[in-house]
Amino acid sequence: MSKTALIIIDHGSQMAAANEMLEKVVALVRRKAGGDFSAIETAHMELAEPSLQAAFDRCVAAGAQTVIISLFFLSPGRHSTADIPRMAAEAAAAHPGVEVHVTEPMGVDDRLAEVLLARVKATSGGPAPAPGP
């Protein structure tokens, strides 16, 4: 069994539907990841539960010795470069010996262009342009 857990974190919202979207994304990740992680959890930076600390605690309870925090953010900013790394270090401090790593934001990726074009096509009802290089 893996000793690595994954937390996918977003900003969090006062709108329940926005927070539920992260739950759906995590469900997709769980299906695709198979048994690669001892746990895969959601967390919100603020405005909603579960907090990063609560998710981290659940990962450790599931046997994680390493926790990877994946940013569900598109671009770098204060939250992804300062706030969440600080919160991750604080969460890990409660569990001596557990490693923590924070990913980069999603950034620029061809697959994001494909999703965007699919949304355009669904909205306009017409063909979306083919993704380019």
Q: What is the pLDDT of residues 31-67, one digit of tens each?
A: 999 889 999 999 999 999 999 999 999 999 999 999 9
In the chain the domains, ranked by start, together with CATH numbers, are 4-102 (3.40.50.1400), 108-133 (no CATH)
Phi/psi of residue 17, nearest 5 degrees: -60, -35
Task: Name 67's Cβ contacts closer than 8 Å, sequence gap at least 6.
Answer: 4, 5, 6, 7, 56, 59, 60, 88, 91, 92, 98, 99, 100, 101
Closest CA to 46 of 81, 12, 9, 8: 12
Q: Rounded to two decimals, what is the model's pTM?
A: 0.89
Residue-wise pLDDT for 21-40, tens only, equals: 999 999 999 999 988 999 99
- Distance CA(61)–CA(49), nearest Å, equals 18
Residue with tokens 């609560």: 54
Q: Which H or E run contains 50?
A: none
Measured distance CA(60)–CA(113) in Å, rounded: 35
